[in-house]
């Protein structure tokens, strides 16, 4: 009991009360719902920031990031909360369906507009770009965004550990990647030609999306998993209006729109279409 008390009151874990403050802040700013069992995760991810800012505990750190002059530290804290796991050609079935069924269905000369809406370090949009370059000879443009600016900067650099690219088809690798040498041994970099095909920017899915224009294909994969139903509903309502009639929305196979009201038609696992 004594040991347990000591652990709970130690400085590297927020108390339940302080955790609730962070929980509300993160929900408001990112839409991410952190269940109570993520208290330890929150502690791990933010503890180094407590040290860097000379704060004694999470309560002080919470107060610190909520003062206007420490807005930059608040952004740093929020970035540390996002989970950015991704890889090339993740959920391959989506790419097969895009190549074999969706792309051939667009009329000749149709210029396709695509958005990767939670692109993390860029593997998703570069996978899409490689496929488009290979299979869609007509014009297309690809936007890619994420709420985390540091991650977006990394995506623009487009440098990846070779050993994390196992699903990248060999011919795509040869065509679109440069092999690192010297200090970049073991890394690859996306070619400038393909990098130039993707427009990266920072964007929060909670914000007004109208200014983004409309799209034929939207990838919104492995992000709604962090949202509660209310937030999901809001995001899906906005996304619907951004989809051109006939356009497609890709979510993750581990996500569902069950319980969300929408006017999209499920046409393949985790792929929806706006009919009109």
Ligand X SMILES: C[S@@+](CC[C@H](N)C(=O)[O-])C[C@H]1O[C@@H](n2cnc3c(N)ncnc32)[C@H](O)[C@@H]1O
**Which residues are annotated as catalytic?**
45, 146
Taking Cα atoms as reference points, which of 158, 151, 98 lies closest to residue 128?
A: 98
Which segment (37-45, 54-62, 80-88, 258-266) binds ligand X by CB under 6 A? 80-88
Angle between helices 71-81 and 39-52 (to 10 degrees): 140
How do 177-179 and 159-161 pair as beta strands? unpaired
30 binds ligand X (CB under 6 A): yes
Residue 146 interacts with ligand X (CB under 6 A)? yes
* Cβ proximity of 121 and 154 under 8 Å: yes
Instruction: Report, in Å, the least distance between residue 246 CB and ligand X.
Output: 23
Helix (H, G, I), strand (E, B) or coil at 89: coil
Least spacing, CB of residue 119 vs ligand X, in Å: 6
Query: In this chain, which of 151, 168, 243, 264 binds ligand X, going by CB under 6 A?
Result: 151
Strand runs labelled E in the chain: 112-116, 140-146, 159-161, 177-179, 187-190, 198-202, 215-219, 243-250, 264-268, 271-274
**Which of 136-144, 179-187, 199-207, 236-244 is the region at the interface with ligand X (rule: CB under 6 A)?**
199-207
**154 touches ligand X by CB under 6 A:** no
Binding range to ligand X, per CB under 6 A, among 103-111, 176-184, 201-209, 258-266: 201-209
Q: Does 176 bind ligand X (CB under 6 A)?
A: no
Nearest CA among 209, 258, 89, 115 for reference residue 266 = 258
Q: Which residues bind ligand X (CB under 6 A)?
A: 30-32, 82-86, 90, 118, 120, 124, 146-148, 151, 204-206, 221-223, 252
């Amino acid at each position: 009991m004594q040991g347990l008390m000591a652990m709970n009151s130690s400085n590297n874990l927020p108390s339940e009360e302080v955790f609730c403050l962070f929980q509300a802040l993160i929900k408001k700013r990112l839409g991410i719902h952190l269940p109570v069992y993520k208290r330890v995760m929150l502690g791990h991810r933010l503890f180094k920031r407590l040290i860097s800012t000379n704060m004694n505990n999470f309560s002080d750190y919470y107060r610190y990031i909520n003062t206007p002059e420490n807005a930059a530290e608040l952004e740093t804290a929020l970035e540390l909360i996002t989970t950015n796991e991704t890889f090339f050609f993740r959920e391959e079935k989506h790419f097969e369906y895009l190549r074999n069924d969706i792309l051939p269905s667009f009329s000749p000369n149709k210029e396709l507009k695509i958005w990767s809406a939670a692109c993390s370090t860029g593997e998703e949009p570069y996978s899409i770009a490689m496929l488009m370059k290979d299979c869609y000879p007509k014009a297309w443009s690809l936007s890619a965004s994420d709420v985390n600016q540091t991650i977006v900067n990394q995506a623009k650099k487009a440098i990846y550990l070779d050993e994390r690219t196992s699903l990248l088809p060999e011919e795509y690798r040869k065509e679109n990647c440069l092999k690192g040498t010297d200090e970049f041994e073991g890394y690859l970099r996306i070619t400038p030609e393909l990098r130039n095909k993707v427009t990266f920017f920072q964007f929060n899915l909670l914000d007004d999306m109208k200014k983004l224009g409309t799209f034929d294909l939207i990838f919104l994969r492995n992000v709604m998993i962090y949202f509660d139903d209310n937030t999901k509903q809001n995001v899906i309502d906005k996304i619907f209006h951004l989809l051109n009639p006939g356009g497609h929305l890709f979510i993750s196979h581990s996500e569902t729109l069950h319980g969300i009201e929408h006017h999209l038609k499920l046409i393949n696992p985790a792929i929806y279409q706006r009919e009109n």
